[in-house]
Amino acid sequence: MIKMTQAFQKVAAIRGMNDLLPGPSARWEQFEEIVRGWLRGYGYRNVRTPVLEHTRLFTRGIGEVTDIVEKEMYTFTDALNGESLTMRPEMTAGIVRASIEHNLLYDRPQRVYSIGPVFRHERPQRGRYRQFHQIDVEALGFAGPDVDAELIVMLARLWKLLGLTDVRLELNSLGQPAERAAHRAALIAHLEKHVDILDEDGKRRLYTNPLRVLDTKNPAMQEMADSAPRLFDFLGEESRAHFDGVCQRLTDAGIEYRLNPRLVRGLDYYNLTVFEWVTDRLGSQGTVCGGGRYDGLIELLGGKAAPAVGFAIGMERLLDLWEQSVQVDAPAECDVYVVHQGEDAQRLAARVGEDLRDAGLSVVVHAGAASFKSQFKRADASGARVAVILGADEVASQTASIKFLRADAQGDAAQQQVPLAGLADVLKNLKG
Ligand code: ATP
Ligand code: MG
- Residue 132, ligand 1, Cβ within 6 A: yes
> Binding residue per annotation — 270?
yes
Give the residue, out of 278, 287, 311, 318, with the most ligand 1 atoms within 8 A of its beta carbon, to mutate for a pocket test: 287
> How many beta carbons lie within 10 A of that of residue 221, not counting itself?
20
In a domain, 312, yes or no: yes
> Binding residue per annotation — 269?
yes
- Which residue's alpha carbon is nearest to atom 8 within ligand 1? 287
Which of 299, 324, 349 is a domain's end point?
324
H/E segment holding residue 172: strand 168-173
- Burial string for 275-286 (b: 16+ CB within 10 Å, else e) reads bbbbbeebeebb
Which of 290, 324, 358 is a domain's end point?
324
In a domain, 403, yes or no: yes
Same domain for 52 and 93? yes
Report how far residue 150's alpha carbon sits from residue 51's, in angstroms, rounded to the nearest whole number: 28
Strand 336-340 with 386-390, pairing: parallel
Task: Name the domain count of the chain.
Answer: 2
- pLDDT, one tens digit for every residue, the chain (432 residues): 566 677 899 999 999 999 999 989 999 999 999 999 999 999 999 999 999 999 999 999 998 878 899 999 999 999 999 999 999 999 999 999 999 999 999 999 999 999 999 999 999 999 999 999 999 999 999 998 999 999 999 999 999 999 999 999 999 999 998 898 899 899 999 999 999 999 888 888 888 888 888 878 888 898 898 899 988 899 999 999 999 999 999 999 999 999 998 888 766 678 999 999 999 999 888 999 999 999 999 999 999 999 999 999 999 999 999 999 888 777 889 999 999 999 999 999 999 999 999 999 999 999 999 999 999 999 999 999 999 999 999 999 999 999 999 865 555 556 899 999 999 999 987 765
200 by Cβ neighbours in 10 Å (0-12 / 13-18 / 19+) ranks as exposed
Report how far residue 378's alpha carbon sits from residue 145's, in angstroms, rounded to the nearest whole number: 55
Q: What is the CA(332)–ligand 2 centre distance, in A?
A: 36
Which of 274, 297, 324 is a domain's end point?
324
> What Rg, from alpha-carbon coordinates, does the chain have?
28
Same domain for 275 and 138? yes
- Residue 128, ligand 1, Cβ within 6 A: yes
Phi, psi of 415 (to 5 degrees): -80, 150
In a domain, 392, yes or no: yes
Smallest CA-to-CA distance from 357 within 376, 330, 338, 382 is with: 338
